[in-house]
Amino acid sequence: MKLFIPGPVSVSNEIMQSMQREMIGHRGKEFANIFEECSKGLKKVFCTNNRVLISTSSGTGLMEGAIRNCVEKNVLMIECGAFGKKWVQVAKACGKEVDVLQVQKGNAVSKEELEKKLSEKKYEAVCVTHNETSTGVENPLKEIAPLIKEHNALFLVDSVSSMGGAKIEVDEWGIDVCLTSSQKCFSLPPGLSFASVSEGALEKSRTIKDKGYYFDFVELAKEYDSHQTPYTPAVGLIFGLITQLERMLKEGMENVWARHEELAKQTQEWAIKNEMKLFAQSGHRSKTVTCISNEKRINLEEVKKKVKEKGYVMDAGYRKLNEELLASGRADTMRIPHMGNLNSKELQEYLDCLEEAMK
């Protein structure tokens, strides 16, 4: 069964086999060597010279870690969909003072909106979801980065569904924390998350008391420098990670990013050919997941059943978003992911199956 949901994505046999090698101790030299190679590879994917910390957790864990380490009191959250909202909930659960810049679903944040909000109050950090998986929107990190730095705030980015599929120039754009997880563009099973952490973010972390243990960036960074973690990592998943990084770097990151752009274009052109409306704002559409407005009022649950008979698991849109849209009299949505190790032929086979099921 092939997964065409926006994470977890299908995992290749090569990766699954690499994770089945004989177990090793995580405090030995062999593990340290593998961990070091993973660190080097991740830096190339993240376009950074910063440490890229590896955590045995979901991306949500490092979302909490970013808040606990980089925010003592107040934070500005940019919310344009379900995952921006999740980060708001995480920050509030950590007892932080949270202000929200609400952006219409389907739109990306504008520099003008953000500038107005930042002029009203001083914030320790600004949190942005780069790729809003629920709506298929990509926020303009490069455009807003200078503005955030101008206001002396830390720049925290959730790139869970885009890192590895879209080029994110962490150092060039001055991102202090950029976090992601294993089950989307990295084509691995769930269970690992990664975060590039700047020296500025670490300096802030050193000043914050009662930030917890598991996601303490200072402790993670200290162990990272000796190619270790402060707790037992998911060794089997790290076997898979080193294999996948080798695969990505062999293809070449510029080629990986270009492939994702072509897959996005292929999907968008298919939708337009089938007289469907793209939900995300033009110019800010995701390179890894396309969200389509179901203006034809197709019974998506029936389509799901039909494509499952052909060996595919389909995504019929983010449930809470669809409930909100339907309640307001608008069309619901469906999503087509195009991330990870996927190629054009595999995507077209799915699109053809989907098209037939929608007749």
pLDDT by residue (tens digit) across 197-210? 999 999 999 999 99
Residue 163 has pLDDT above 90, yes or no: yes
Q: With cut-offs at 50, 70 and 90, classify the pLDDT of residue 166.
A: very high
Q: With cut-offs at 50, 70 and 90, classify the pLDDT of residue 11.
A: very high
Summarize the confidence of residues 327-332 as an average pLDDT. 95
Residue 133 has pLDDT above 90, yes or no: yes
Residue 181 has pLDDT above 90, yes or no: yes
What was the pLDDT predicted at 77?
98
> Token pair of 199, please?
């020296």
Residue 315 has pLDDT above 90, yes or no: yes
Topology adopted by domain 253-357: Aspartate Aminotransferase, domain 1 (3.90.1150)
Residue 355 has pLDDT above 90, yes or no: yes
What was the pLDDT predicted at 150?
97
What was the pLDDT predicted at 283?
96
Topology adopted by domain 12-251: Aspartate Aminotransferase; domain 2 (3.40.640)
Residue 65 has pLDDT above 90, yes or no: yes
How far, in Å, are 265, 287, 317 from residue 272 at the CA level? 11, 16, 18
Domain ranges (residues) in the chain:
12-251, 253-357
For residue range 211-270, list pLDDT tens digits in order: 999 999 999 999 999 999 999 999 999 999 999 999 999 999 999 999 999 999 999 999
Residue 82 has pLDDT above 90, yes or no: yes
What was the pLDDT predicted at 198?
98
Its pTM stands at: 0.96
Residue 359 has pLDDT above 90, yes or no: no
Summarize the confidence of residues 132-146 as an average pLDDT. 98
Q: With cut-offs at 50, 70 and 90, classify the pLDDT of residue 39.
A: very high
Q: With cut-offs at 50, 70 and 90, classify the pLDDT of residue 191.
A: very high
Q: What is the mean pLDDT of the chain?
A: 97
Residue 272 has pLDDT above 90, yes or no: yes
What was the pLDDT predicted at 286?
98
Cβ atoms 257, 249 nearer than 8 A: no
